[in-house]
Amino acid sequence: MLSRIIAAFCIIDDALQALGYKDDPQAKTPASAILTLAILAAMELGGKHNKALALAKDLRLFTYVPSPSRFNRRLHALYPFFLPLRKIAPSGLTHLLAQAWKNLHQAQAYALDTFPLPACENIRAPRSRLCKIAPAGLTPDKAYRGFIPSKRVYFHGPKLHLLVDDGKFIHEVSLTPGSLHDLSSLLLLPLDLPEGAELYLDRGYESHFYEDLLREAGGIVPMVIRRRNSRRYVPWLQYLAIVGRLLSREGNT
């Protein structure tokens, strides 16, 4: 973990210098350290900033570690670096880090999954203010009303599509309204994977047409967890798909 933190700090510091960012002369903690602590909390500590600050103090990672309130103010001020703004970077700092990580680490196992993000309780969906923008032809009430098959319940909000690898790294992210099918992520995500990479998918992504398209156009090997009545159901392939998907999910939990 310590080696990844040091590598992330070096990459972020060089990226900020390349973008021409300069810290305030009165700042005791550089911006690269603030961003590194945020990444540390997201990757290792479940997004808990307080734990990341405490761990940085115990390990003496930086000369000065700010208080939680000061850290939050600094992090909010640096939030535009994660967005694709022309004034800062054409694709944002996140894209630069992703490209650097791809050059340093070549994974062969990837997993694509979808997570619901409920914005409110179902009874409050008609007056929800968080999800107002809907695709053409649909009202927000219908566009953001999704279904969770594992729990057999409906939710109101968007869906988060994540493409991760076996090294605890998120390669691609996409948000869609909750009513759209999981297969929509295969069309919205670029799926910029190396040729011959294995992509683990659950039952919601089973589609013979898209599987053949991934093999022919992208050179990707889809490892789909299929239903027993599927024409392409093979027991030993199912075992590899289930085990590989569990390992990918555990590595990014």
Distance CA 156, CA 119 (A): 6
| Structure token pair of residue 70 | 């000061």
Q: Is the dihedral of CA 63, 68, 73, 77 positive or negative?
A: positive
Residue 113's nearest CA partner among 74, 161, 70 is 161
- According to the model, what pLDDT value does residue 85 have? 42
Phi and psi of 218, rounded to 5°?
-105, -10
Find the largest Cα–Cα distance for the chain: 66
B/e letters for 209-243, b = 16+ CB within 10 Å, e = fewer, are ebbeebeeebebbbbbbbeeeeeeeeeeebeebee
14 Rama class: left (phi>0) / alpha (psi -120 to 50) / beta:
alpha
Distance CA 39, CA 31 (A): 12
Whether this prediction's pTM lies above 0.75 is answered by no
Q: Residue 196 — pLDDT band, cuts 50, 70, 90?
A: confident
| Burial class of residue 179, CB neighbours in 10 A (0-12, 13-18, 19+) | buried
- C-alpha 66 chain-centroid distance: 27
Distance CA 110, CA 66 (A): 36
Q: Residue 168 — pLDDT band, cuts 50, 70, 90?
A: low
Q: Which amino acid is at 22?
A: K
- Higher-confidence residue of 95 and 208: namely 208
Counts of helices then strands in the chain (DSSP H, E): 9, 7
Across the range 18-43, mean pLDDT stands at 86
Q: Residue 33 — pLDDT band, cuts 50, 70, 90?
A: very high
Across the range 240-245, mean pLDDT stands at 82
